Every structure is written in structure tokens, then in C-alpha cells.
Structure 1
Amino acid sequence: MKSLFAAIAALLLLPAMASAQLSITGKVTNAAGETLPGTTVSITPNASNAIADVTGKYVFADLKPGNYTLKASYIGYQAITRNINLRASQVVNIILTNGTLSAEEVTISSTRASKNSPTAYTNLSKKDLEKNNFGQDLPYLLNQTPSVVTTSDAGAGIGYTGIRIRGSDATRINVTINGIPYNDSESQGSYFVDLPDIASSVDNIQVQRGVGTSTNGAGAFGGSINIQTTTRRDTAYADINTSAGSYGSIKNTVSAGTGLLGGHFSLDGRLSRIHSNGYIDRASSNLKSFFVSGAWYGKNSTLRANVFSGYETTYQAWNGVADYVIGDNTRADNRTYNELGLMSNGSFYKNQVDHYIQNHYQLLYDQKLSDKLSFSGALHYTRGKGYYEEYRNADSLSSYGIAPVIVGNNTISATDLVRRLWLDNDFYGVTYALKYQPQSNLNLNLGGAYNQYSGAHFGDVISTQENIGLSPNYEYYRDNAKKNDFNIYARAEWRLSKVLLYADVQYRHIYYSFYGIDKNLNNAQQNAELNFFNPKAGITYQFNEHNNVYASFAVGNHEPNRDDYVDSPSQNRPKSENLKDFEAGYRISSSVFTGGINGFYMLYKNQLILTGALNEVGSPIRTNVKDSYRAGVELDGKVKITSQLNWGLTATWSANKIKNYQQFFSNYDDGTLVGESFKSTDIAFSPSFIGSSVISYSPVKGGEIAFISKYISKQYIDNTMNRNPEGFGIAPENIDNPYAVNRYLKGYFVSDVRLRYNFNAWSIKNIGLGLQVNNIFSKKYEANGATYPDIEGGHVVNYNYFFPQAPRNFMASLNLSF
């Protein structure tokens, strides 16, 4: 009878047992017992990931009884798989051993700082990026990292955006995608608008500050952004994401992957579309992109092919808003007026756009040569082509090499016209990395790249108001450019008990030339051949697994970009820049607090600093200064106040100075130049304080409320600290307009609110709801500017332009994962 009752009881309890919510928790360490925060632990068949926290702990909760497979992976260690028969909650501690890396990891790790490297860096995981990915450009997803300032031409973060690290603009920030250079070979900028929604195909990013580790491509003078795209996912998935919000902004993304097929193959893909009307008048963006990645995994080798493309058409807003407009509070459009495209009849030209297509092809290969040696190589090719189209009022025909045209009794020497300025380029090459680890405390890397660039610059007149007999798409100039870029680097990390010794050296050779007729109908022939030697050394002392101090010294050299050559007079060609970077800091990690403090002193020789002016396509004009420096302190930390409440913050205090600077103003009264000398002056676009804060609260499982703040102190938009030449005052008509008087951006404090809630229902693995309200207090501020001061009638006249950012705006999102 008792057996009968027991059987009946078991039968009644079976549904409850089947739905029991169990957990798997544990700690990830290496063979020496050191924790490995950031380790990715995946579980199947649930197809979810957990990231080990600062103490190495990971958690999978709400599991049903059954069979599971855990896989743990961390850069520099062999991945490990554990099979679990779960009948009750278990603690599964994982020990990883040093080993050969996968193809996704060898190339990436060879150009990245490791956990204890004497370098200032921040790692962002896929999960970190997903929280903020509502459709804004990639720089906005990096906005909460230390010393970062972001700007948006259209005002709402979609379309053309900019990023500065420690006051250095995008031409000083080295960007690589899977170890392959992304910076444009000529302008050296990184235009993420050409890769819309790339964040949806990114697995992780490391942002380094200062010279950092040796990398491929343009030298890092402000920092580097090292991007790793989609990596292996062992189970099939499909994601649908839609975001929509202010200014007609909408983002649609579809992603899918096969998981691992037959133990060897995987295929991942993404398709995205983003549209926004922009905050600034007509500053619309129409963006499309796709990403496809296929991989083959063997026992000792891996082959991955990536093909991704971006298409952008953006209405030009790169001039900003003129000071006389933005200072006129009687105008309803004083903060949104866009002067570009204004035609002689008072209306605006509808096709005043920038249009560009960029296609990327990457082939990544990894081979395990032995237990101690591995190789990774990559072939790449990038194809770009596009133009910007603009309406020109009463342009002189002589500017296009056209003689005056006689029509009846009239001689036409100027006419309204539409022109397109084209860029047609190819970039291709090879990168490689060898990792040799003869013993557990010694790590050696050898890597480098050889890349070639060819680009054609040409301009067409596509229509004229007057019939002057031009052939269709009349080409009035063409010049071609070539650039060869070779670099090789070697890096070693040697651990002696609690001391890590670091050494890194790079040699880089550059040959750059361009020739033909430029857009001003001048002979464009120029060439430069440069050789750079960039040594680096550092030391880290580890008190214990949670605390270390470090110091490093690094040398960086950087070539001028195309605009530096074009915008400079022939008698004063730009010089290459040299940087000596001193860094020292302290890092701590615990279950309650993780963070650090870093001091830096960056001493420049011949730094190319921004003058405050822009050329005709919105690119900053720069000039060499002999002596300048940046010195400061960076704080970065996150505190776990309670199990539900976290507070992350960053702060940077810095002095950014030029010694013995000479500024010249054009005096239009007599055609002379008026000079003003500064023994010490602030570098343009270099705020003395940058701070950010993220307070996040999780009231329920899967839910988060985050209050996000950013403060940027005053920054000058030229290098005069707003001073005028001695003896020259401000023009009387400008006295009452602060925007016409001040050559600086006021400090601003902006706050956002982000809401996220994730849950599952029916057969949908995850339903994610999100809402981000930007600039919740509707602060009026400008994040960027340009200035063209001169002297007229004995007075200084500032021609200033500012880039107002959007008031309160929002984006809401829905994500479905299958």
C-alpha cells in the first residue's frame, strides 16, 4: 500500500518537478587560480550567454531539469566544454588553460591590450552595445567611455557623426575591424555612416586611449577603436529588431544564423535599414547595410569570410548654423536653419546630398602550427564609390575651365549650376599575426600588414541654368592618388611573479602621392615618403588578482592627411607629427567595485591642430605647431550598490596647451595679416573636463531603468581662447549677439533615460522592449562649431557656425529573438 501511495505522490508531483527552476553557477579561473572576468559562458540548448563578472562568477538561472552543455571561452585560453545532467542546482567551476586562439581571436588579441597590460582601455561586450543600439551611429554607443566627446551634424545622432578621444578627432583615432584598418587612407577619418548599424554585427569592442598597443593602419594619437564582428554561435537563431522615434527616425534590422552545422560550418547574416529626417532642416539620412559571414571550423584551422556593405544618402548639414541665425531668438528656425542648398529663387535644392557606397570583403584564416605557436592571416578588399552633389549660385565659368559664352547680345561669365564631386577608390591588402607562447609566463606576438590604396577624385557639372553648350556630365577636373602602407610590429609580455614586463616596437613605411588637376584647376602633384619607428615599453605590478599598478611609455608618429597637403601653401607643406605618451595608473576589481585611475602626459612635436575653420566639404583645416601637450587624469568605475542598483561613472580632467602659438587674422581694410602671439593657449576642441554617469536599477528580472548623464566643459573652437588682436575690438553690430562674439562652445550637461524589459513567451526565446529618451530636460546646446574671424573696419568680425543638438527626443524599440 505504501508503495502505491508513493507512486501516486510521485505522479502528482511530476509536473511540478518538470517545471522546477534550477540554476548553474560557478567561477572561471585560469590554472594559476586568477579569475577571468569577461569570460563568455554559453549554455545549450537554451542558446544563451553569461559574461563572468569582475570576480569571475557566472549564473544561469530558471533552468528546467535536463541535459545541458556549457562552453567557456576567453581570449588567450583554450575553450572548454562541460556536459551537465541537471537534476538539482549545481556549482560548476571552470578552469581555463592557455592555448591557441580561434581565428576570431588571434588577429584581435594581437592588436589589443590584455587584462594586465600597462595601457588605458575599456572593453565593451555585445550586451553593452545592444543596450544603447536604437539606431544612432556607432560613436554614440561609445559615448559613456572615458574621455569621449561625440557630435552629430544632423543633431540626433543619425547620419554624419564625430568622435573625439582626449580632444583628438577621428583622424587621430585608429579604427580596425577584425584587425583590418578602417580609417580612410587619405582623410584618415572613420566614417561610420558608411557602415550603418554595424553595431548589430559586432561581438565586442576595445577602446584604447593614448598611443596604446601597436596596431595596423593609421597611427593612434588620441586612441584606437578595435572592433570584432560576429563570432561563432553554436545554435541557430533569428532576430527581428525595429526602432522608431522622433524626427521620423526608424531602424529595421533582421539577423539570422545557422549555428554550427555538422560540427564544421556556420553562416550568419544581417540586413538593416535606417531613415531619419534629422533635427536640422532637411538633414535627412537614408541608410542601408548588410553583413554576411560564413565560417568553416577544422580541428586545427578556421576559415571565415565576411562580406558587408553600407549605402548612405544624407542631405548635407556639414556647415552648421550661422551665428547671426542661431543668435536671433525671433526666428522659429534659429537652431535648425540649414543654409546648404539655397537656390537663387529662394527655395532649396532637393538633391543637395552626400551619396556613397562602400563594400568590404574579408577572408580570415587561422592555423594551429603547434601547441605553442599559432598563425592568423587576413586578405581584405574595400571598394568605395560616391559623390556629393551641390547647387552653386552664380559660379564663375572660369572656375570650371570654361571661357565666357556669348548668347545673343549677352556674355555669360557666371551661371547657377549643379555639380558632383566624386571619389572612386580601392583599398586592399594583407594582415598577419603570429602568436608564440613557449611557456605560461611568456607571450610573444609578431604581426603587421601591407596595404595599397588607389583613389580617383573628379568633378562633373551635371546641369546649368544657362545653356552654355556643355556636354552631359562635363568633367572639369581629375586627380588620382596612390598610397602604400607597410608596417610590422613585435610585442612581448613576460610575467615574473607579480611583475609583468611589456615591450612593443613597430616600424611603418608610407608612400603617398597624388597627381593631376584638382578642383581649383591647379596642378595637384604632391608626394611624400615617410618612415616611422614606434617603440613602447611598460610594467605592471600585481598586488593580487584584484589590484595592480602600471606605467608605460610609448612613441607614436603620424602622417599628414590629404587635406593637410591640399590646404597648405606650397612653401609651407605640413610635417609629420611625433607623440611621446607617458601613462600610469591603478586598477581594482572586486564584487562591489571595479574601476581605475589613469594619469597621462602626451607631449607632441609638430602636432597638427585644428584652426577652427572647415574646408568646403566640412572637414577641419589643420596646421602644425611645434610644441604642445595634453596632460590629465582619468577616472573610470562601477559600483554595485545593491544587487539591483549599479552606478557607473567616468571623469577626465585635463590641460591641453600649445606653447608659443602664433595666430594670424586677415585685415581686409589694408590686405595685411595681423598676428597675435600666445605664450600658452588652449588647444581647440579640448574641454578641460569630461564626465559621464550611468545609474541603472533593475526592479524586476529582465527589466532595467537607467539614468544616463554627460557633462562637457567649455571648449574653444580655435586656438586663441577667444582673444582678439590687440587694438581691435568686436564689431558694434555683433556686441549683443553672443554667438557672433564668442569663439567657443559653452559647457553642457545632458541627461538621457533608458528603459529595457526582456521576457519570453510562447515559442519566442526573448521579447525585448526598449525606450530611450535623449536630452530629457531639453537642454539647448551645441556640440561642435567652426570659426572664420577677420578684421573689417578696424573691428574683429567672427563668422561662426555652430552645430545645435536636438532637444528632448526619443526612440522606442521592439526586439524578437527566435
Structure 2
Amino acid sequence: MFKQLYATGAFCLTVMLGIAQETLSVKVTDNKSIAIPGATVYVEGKSKQTNADGSVSFVVKDNHAARVTVRFLGFQEFRTTLNQGQHTVLIQLQPDQNIMADAFVYASRAKDNSATTFKNINKSEIRRNNLGRDIPYLLDQTPGVVVGSDAGAGIGYTNMTIRGSDNARINVTLNGIPLNDAESMGSFFVNLPDFASSVESIQVQRGIGTSTNGAGAFGASLNIQTDALEASPYAEFNNSFGSYNSWKNTLKVGSGLLNNKYAFNARLSRISSDGYIERASSDLKSFYVDGGLYTEKHTLKATVFSGKEKTYQAWYGTAEPLLTGDKAELQRYANDSFWLFSGPEYDRFMQGDRKYNYYTYPNQTDNYTQTHAHLQYSGQWASDLRVNAALHYTRGAGYFEEFKAGAKFSEYGLENVTLGDTTLKKTDLIRRRWLDNHFYGGTYSINYKPSQAFNIILGGAYNQYKGDHYGEITWAQYASNGSLGDKYYLNNAVKNDFNTYLKADYRLDKWLLNVDLQYRNVTYKVDGNDNKIKNIHISDNLNFINPKAGVTYFINPASHVYASYAYAGKEPIRKDYIENPNNLFPKPEKMQDIEAGYRFKNESFNIGANLYAMLYKNQLVQTGSLNDTGSALRVNVPKSYRTGIEIDGAWNISSQFLWSATAALSRNKIKDFVEMVPVLDKNGNKVSEKAFNYDNTDIAKSPAAVLSNNFTYRPMEALSISFLSKYISRMYLDNTSAKERSIKPSFVNNIAANYTFKALGIERIDLNLAVNNIFNTKFTTNGYTYSQILESKGSREYFNFYYPQATTNFMLGLNLRF
């Protein structure tokens, strides 16, 4: 070895002596020692680009210490001052994963020292956990997050709450562009299967957060940043297989930078699963393509991505006695809930278990395709001025199909059928309920930074949504006077959403001041007939002024404290207008959000603690009941609040042991709540209502404690084994704080193992294993209830339904990167 080192040193010395004293030679490579042609090298005010070998030469004064700067798109800038008399230098550039992607999300993301509470999930964490389950599951170790799925295994329709707020209150943006559905305001990641494979990072802001585009954030914001620019070509083939015949197959390719200007990326994905619940299958497909023009000061990027989902419906849930095994209670559910069970269906229900699915029609499926097109520009117009702009268009269309037994002709605009002397008023039929929509608009932000101490951002957006809701009958036992293609209901909706905001922050010694002011105008109109309600004419025009202010004090370089105040308003969603349980025109919600916290971070330990109080006026809370598409109904309550403390910490105990944990403890209360319970006759028709009053009662589906723990052992750099735990306290299904109508506390433990290595010329091989619910806990994280009073009995009775989550299950992944 010493001979080799000596020979190498002698060779280098010979080369150096052979170079003229006035010549400086620079060679530039990436972190894998691959030469980078086209890199710009600056030496004492002169600049040149490296040749095909990554090399360039300069003439410099002899014995002069030269200052060298190297820049290349997609890599961190390199600066050094050479030793006097040094004439050759090898420079390795390190990838800058955020150099261009950050430009698109900069305006809407909270910065490290912002006076708000947030958490970032980076690319490596996403890659380790992305085995096919939906994006909410990647956030499960985030403070205050509760996730679940209809099918029970995390594939298909999923749900998530943060601080007890559901996805209609969680603002989601993709590179700063709104994702939330304009009418329901939910984000349905099932429509973007395997999107996580194209994600660079996710920031979760809790509370109102910073001003952003799209639906108002009343619980949290998710800011999703897609893959950053990669300078070198690559290919990935990622596969996962697991319980319930679950599969994920992903193929990704990227061109790297071509001619130091252009880059292209593409992905194809397929996810399928039989589901934990009976027949709750999923067949999900997606693609992603982007192409960009990149220069040192300007980026223009076009992105198209699409998802197509077909899921068997499991949104009816499972009756409580099927989980508890209480046969007497099961009999009551069958007899008193007006399900019209008979014959084999009655027997199937009485013999069911926690995997029971109410639906049996073979094509009782949800089918939807959603395609997004983004065109984004980012430019550094001056050293202190950055401009971002984007145009976007989303096309969504799909239906859910269902079998209806004994449907009344009159409800479908059909005439009764006469057979001989018999008049038929009902028929069995198959119907499809369609949603056909367009969503488009533009966003912008202008970032002016005149000094290191002062920064200002002006931004905003204008978006328009147009959607048709209609139903059609595809088959009927007795067709009456109907024809294929007839629409038995049709209504159209138009929503315009305009917002503009101004943010500024100023650093003064140990203080950082933030101010943020947003104006938002929303107009919403619906006309036509709905499935149950006819002659709908809804028109609403709302204006919101949303101010925010915060202050951060830096105790030392490792720690700081902060406090903030925010006020925001939010419009109702579609079902609040059309299916309001109290038949009232819904009011917009308003909230004051007060946050205060402490952060500490050094090389081995970091912790954050945050206190919050979210004070609502006219909050729209869930009643506990669902509509006929599995969506929770809501009503306004005059005064309510959510207060709590959140703790998020991590400790590198040693090079082999890492411990991280979160805790979210809260009180979620309605000060005065009036519950209206329907009184039914013997045929199940509502004849009146009875009021029940509650004082300082718990808000539905808002747990008082959510705790998580992650203990990771890394015996070697390439291998990590994690033991993860999650505790969720009791959640009430309605707003009555009644234990008999609640979800029991759950404590679930998982194991995750990751091994990364190189072999056979493959750049990276990842072996990932996740064993979920290792102790086979029978638990649920979501459900609903409804109550009724039968005239014949006079007493209140209730029916609870849950979405059981999978018992012990696994996913095994193999990722190859070339």
C-alpha cells in the first residue's frame, strides 16, 4: 500500500511540476466523483465553464492565493481560498436537493425560526416508510395526528385528523398550488395513488399557520414539495408486497441535467389490495411526468400527474355488536335500524364479524380519475428579488355505482308501473352518481429581501371551480318510462376563490418579528336538483380578512421562544348548505389561534414544546351522523374551543440509538350544545324531534391525548430497526360526551426495519420491512353514530358503527436505484 501511495504521490508531484507556475487547474466532480461538465468556475473575478472532463484552467499570478467559487445547478455553491502556491485543485460539489424545489414552496412554508409550530418530513424518511399506504400514514408520528382507513389496511380511502380537525380543515398544497376539493374541502389522496414516490418533503403546520393558497387552514396545513432537481440520470424500480394481497409497483426515471439546462422525470405506479374488510379492495394507478428548463436565475417547469382509483365501498362501517360479539344487541340492530334485512342478508349479518361489509353487489365501487397540470416559473430577477408564478388545471370525473333494492319510482322521476291489475311503486335498480368537475387558476408570490434582516412576500391566487353532480340509472328491474342516459338529478356548482396576502419579517438583534395579512373572497353558487333535495338555489358571497403576527426571541444559537396570534375565517362546505341537519343556512366559521412555544436543537438533542388555544365562533362540528355517501354531517355551534400542549423531541443517545417521541394533550369543548334527535313512527318516518342540551361537552372525534414513540437501533450505518408506538385516548362519536357512543382508547405498536446497501453495480438497494400492529390489537380510529326515538317505545336508542383497523399485518419492500 505504501508503494502505491508513494507512486501516486510521485505522479501527482510530477504533474504539478510540469504545470507552468502561472496556470491554475481546477477539476469539478459530484459527490460520486463523476466529472461535471458545464460547471461555472470563478477565479478572482474571471469565470469559465468546465469541459467534458469537468476541468478548466486559469492563468493567475505566481504565488498568489486565489479565491475560487464553483456553481452548478442542482448543487451547493462551493467557495474556497487556495493555499499560496497551489496550482491544482479537485472540487467535489454536494447536491442541493432544495435549490429549485424550494423556490415553488418558499412563500407558503414556515421557516425555521417562524413563530408557529410545524414539522418537516424529509425525503429519506418518506422513502423508508413508503410501502404503499397513503400519505396520511407517513405523518403518523407527527404530534396530534390520527389516521385510519375504510378498508382497514391504509390502502384506498384514508382519513386523518390533526388537533381533532378533519381533512376539510387541513389545507393541502402541492408546490404552493391548492389540492383541496373546492366543494368538500377535503384532500383525497386515493385519487393520487403513490404520490409519495414523487415527494421531496412535507411540512405539517398546526393551527392556522402561515397564509397560503386554497381552502382556509383551521386545523393544520400540509405543504408538499415534489422531487427536487437531480443533476445526474437515474432509474428506480420499487416494489412492495404484503398482507391482504397488497402490492405496490413503481418505476421512476430521470434524465438528469441535459446541456446544463433541461431535465425530465417520469413515474408509473400501481397499488392494489384486497383490503382487511370484506370486499374492500383497491385498484389504484397513477403516473407523473415533469420537464423543466433550468438556468442559474430562472426555472420553468411543467408537470402533469394523474391518478385513477377503483375501490369497493366500505364506508358503511361495521355495527358495534359485530365487534363486541353481543348477540342480543346484534338482534336489536337488525330489527330496529330499518335496514330491511331479510333472508340470506339477515343471516349473513347475524353471523358476521369485525370484517363485515354491508355491501354485496359485485360492482358496488367508487371510480374516479383526477388529472393535474401545473406550469410553474421561478426567477431571481435581482439579488434581492425573487418572483414565482404558476398556472394550474385539474380535471376530475368519476362515479360510484350502487345497487338499490325497492327504490321508489317517484324518487327517480319515473311513473309507476302497472302489470295487469297490480300497480308497482318500487323497483330494484342500479344507479351511478357522478361528479364531473374542472378546477383551474393561477398563483403568484414576489419575495423582496433588501437585507439580511428584512424580508417581505406579496402573494395570492385566483381559482375557479366548476362541477356537475348528476345521477343516472344503468339498470332497473322495471324501467318504467326511463331511458338509458337520463339524469334523474342534475345540479351544477361554481366557486370562485380569490386571495392576496402580504408577509414580512424583520430581525432585530435577538428578536424576529413576523406579520402576515391575507384578504380572501369566496363566492359559491349551486343550482338544480340533488339526489334527495329538489330545486336547489344556493348563493353565498363571503369576505375574510385574516391577520397574523408573531415574535421570536433567540435565547442563544441553539434555542428560542416564540408567540403568535392569528385570526381567520372559513366558508362552509357543500354538504353544510345542502344537507344541514337543522335545515338552516350555515354560517362561516371564525377562529382566533394563540400559540406560544420553545425550541432547542443541537447535534444530539432537539425538543419543541407548544401551547395553543383555538377559540371558535360558529364552528361547524360533526353531529356524529353520516350522509348516504359516508360523509359526516355538521352543524354550527356558537362557541367552542380547542386548547392544548404539544411536545416533539428526539435524542441521539449514541451513534447506534435514537429516541424520538411526541405528545399532544388537549381539551376540545363546546360551551353549549343542543342535540336534536328524531322521533320516528313505526315505518321509520320522522314525525318530530326532541332536544337534548349539553354544557361544556366534548367535541366529536377529538381525543384528549395522542402520544407516539419511536425507538431506533442502528447496529451499522446501513441497517436500522425501529419500534414505534401510538396511543390515542377515547374519542366520542357525537357531541354528548357519552361513553356508550365513543371509540375506545387504543395502543398500537409497529416494527420497521430498513437496510440499504450497494451490489452488482446498483447505486442503492433498499430492503424495507414494516410489521404493523405486532400485538394483534383490535382497534379503530373512526366511526359514526345515530340516535332515534321510536314512538312505540318513547326512549332514546342509538346505533354505533366503526371502521375496524387491521390486526397484525406486514409490508415488505425492495427498492433498486440505478
TM tier, smaller: 0.7 to 0.9
Q: 3-state DSSP class of the match of 2:536? A: coil
| Cα pair 2:552 2:563 within 8 Å, conserved | yes
Name which of 748, 763, 766 aligns with 1:765. 763
- Distance change in 2, residues 1:375/1:575 (3 Å): same
Which string of whole-angstrom CA distances, capped at 9 and with x for unpartnered residues, describes residues 565-603 of structure 1?
Answer: 011269611000000000000000012211210000000
Which string of whole-angstrom CA distances, capped at 9 and with x for unpartnered residues, describes residues 464-522 of structure 1?
Answer: 12343531233111100000000000000100001000000000000100101111251
| Cα pair 1:662 1:675 within 8 Å, conserved | yes
Query: How far does residue 15 in structure 1 lie from its aligned partner after superposition?
Result: 11
1:531 aligns with 2:524: no
| Cα pair 2:73 2:231 within 8 Å, conserved | no
Give the structure 1 partner of residue 795 of structure 2. Answer: 795
Which string of whole-angstrom CA distances, capped at 9 and with x for unpartnered residues, describes residues 40-60 of structure 1?
Answer: x97244799xxxxxxxxxxxx
Distance in 2 of aligned mates of 1:71 and 1:578: 51
Give the structure 2 partner of residue 443 of structure 1. Answer: 455
Give the structure 2 partner of residue 334 of structure 1. Answer: 353
Task: Report the residue type matching 1:176 in the other structure.
Answer: T
Task: Report the residue type matching 1:43 in the other structure.
Answer: N
Distance in 1 of aligned mates of 2:565 and 2:203: 20
Task: Report the residue type matching 2:426 in the other structure.
Answer: A
Name which of 155, 179, 195 aligns with 1:182. 179
Query: How far does residue 93 in structure 1 lie from its aligned partner after superposition?
Result: 13
Give the structure 1 partner of residue 697 of structure 2. Answer: 681
Give the structure 2 partner of residue 43 of structure 1. Answer: 31
Query: How far does residue 368 in structure 1 lie from its aligned partner after superposition?
Result: 1.8
Distance in 1 of aligned mates of 2:707 and 2:726: 6
Name which of 120, 128, 137 aligns with 1:140. 137
Distance in 2 of aligned mates of 1:310 and 1:255: 16
Distance in 1 of aligned mates of 2:517 and 2:375: 27
- Distance change in 2, residues 1:267/1:108 (3 Å): same
Distance in 2 of aligned mates of 1:47 and 1:712: 52
Give the structure 2 partner of residue 690 of structure 1. Answer: 706
Aligned CA RMSD, in angstroms, stands at 2.9
- Distance change in 2, residues 1:222/1:91 (3 Å): farther
1:165 aligns with 2:153: no
Counterparts of 1:560-639 in structure 2, within 5 Å, are: 560-568=572-580, 572-639=584-651
Task: Report the residue type matching 2:405 in the other structure.
Answer: N
Q: 3-state DSSP class of the match of 1:556? A: strand
Counterparts of 1:334-733 in structure 2, within 5 Å, are: 334-340=353-359, 348-520=360-532, 522-568=534-580, 572-668=584-680, 671-722=687-738
Which string of whole-angstrom CA distances, capped at 9 and with x for unpartnered residues, describes residues 731-774 of structure 1?
Answer: xxxxxxxxxxx210000000000011111012101111111000
Distance in 1 of aligned mates of 2:100 and 2:465: 26
- Distance change in 2, residues 1:762/1:200 (3 Å): same
Distance in 2 of aligned mates of 1:158 and 1:111: 29
Task: Report the residue type matching 2:810 in the other structure.
Answer: F
Task: Report the residue type matching 1:284 in the other structure.
Answer: S
Which string of whole-angstrom CA distances, capped at 9 and with x for unpartnered residues, describes residues 750-807 of structure 1?
Answer: 0000011111012101111111000010000111111011123132211211111000
| Cα pair 2:78 2:93 within 8 Å, conserved | no
| Cα pair 2:649 2:661 within 8 Å, conserved | yes
| Cα pair 2:376 2:391 within 8 Å, conserved | yes
Higher deviation after alignment, 330-339 or 519-528:
330-339
Task: Report the residue type matching 1:812 in the other structure.
Answer: L
Query: How far does residue 106 in structure 1 lie from its aligned partner after superposition?
Result: 2.9
- Distance change in 2, residues 1:203/1:325 (3 Å): same
Distance in 2 of aligned mates of 1:459 and 1:745: 35
Distance in 2 of aligned mates of 1:799 and 1:158: 27
Distance in 1 of aligned mates of 2:689 and 2:55: 80
Give the structure 2 partner of residue 755 of structure 1. Answer: 753
Distance in 2 of aligned mates of 1:678 and 1:389: 40
Query: How far does residue 119 in structure 1 lie from its aligned partner after superposition?
Result: 0.4
Which string of whole-angstrom CA distances, capped at 9 and with x for unpartnered residues, describes residues 257-313 of structure 1?
Answer: 011111100001111000000000000000000111111112321100110000000
| Cα pair 1:517 1:524 within 8 Å, conserved | yes
Task: Report the residue type matching 1:617 in the other structure.
Answer: T
Distance in 2 of aligned mates of 1:329 and 1:176: 45
Which string of whole-angstrom CA distances, capped at 9 and with x for unpartnered residues, describes residues 507-566 of structure 1?
Answer: 000010010111125111101000000000000000112100000000111100000001
Which string of whole-angstrom CA distances, capped at 9 and with x for unpartnered residues, describes residues 622-672 of structure 1?
Answer: 000000000000000001111110011000110000001111222336933
1:221 aligns with 2:218: yes
Counterparts of 1:135-284 in structure 2, within 5 Å, are: 135-284=132-281
| Cα pair 1:125 1:205 within 8 Å, conserved | yes
Task: Report the residue type matching 2:31 in the other structure.
Answer: I
Distance in 1 of aligned mates of 2:693 and 2:640: 15
- Distance change in 2, residues 1:570/1:709 (3 Å): closer
Distance in 1 of aligned mates of 2:655 and 2:485: 65
Distance in 1 of aligned mates of 2:696 and 2:296: 61
Task: Report the residue type matching 1:696 in the other structure.
Answer: T
Q: Which runs of 5+ in 2 are unaligned?
A: 12-28, 37-53, 57-67, 83-88, 328-349
Distance in 2 of aligned mates of 1:42 and 1:172: 43
Which string of whole-angstrom CA distances, capped at 9 and with x for unpartnered residues, describes residues 131-160 of structure 1?
Answer: 110100000001111110001100000000
| Cα pair 1:67 1:84 within 8 Å, conserved | no
| Cα pair 2:443 2:462 within 8 Å, conserved | yes
Distance in 2 of aligned mates of 1:46 and 1:94: 10
Query: How far does residue 324 in structure 1 lie from its aligned partner after superposition?
Result: 3.5
Q: 3-state DSSP class of the match of 2:455? A: strand
| Cα pair 1:275 1:284 within 8 Å, conserved | yes
Q: 3-state DSSP class of the match of 2:569? A: strand
- Distance change in 2, residues 1:71/1:318 (3 Å): farther
Distance in 2 of aligned mates of 1:499 and 1:91: 41
The runs of at least 4 consecutive aligned structure 1 residues that moved more than 3 Å come to: 11-18, 44-48, 66-75, 81-85, 90-97, 329-333, 669-672
Task: Report the residue type matching 2:691 in the other structure.
Answer: G
Query: How far does residue 679 in structure 1 lie from its aligned partner after superposition?
Result: 1.7
Task: Report the residue type matching 1:169 in the other structure.
Answer: D
Distance in 2 of aligned mates of 1:82 and 1:630: 50
Task: Report the residue type matching 1:629 in the other structure.
Answer: Y
Which string of whole-angstrom CA distances, capped at 9 and with x for unpartnered residues, describes residues 186-222 of structure 1?
Answer: 0000000000000000011110000010000100000
Task: Report the residue type matching 1:766 in the other structure.
Answer: R
Distance in 2 of aligned mates of 1:200 and 1:212: 26
Give the structure 2 partner of residue 780 of structure 1. Answer: 778
Give the structure 1 partner of residue 3 of structure 2. Answer: 10
Aligned length: 739
- Distance change in 2, residues 1:229/1:509 (3 Å): same
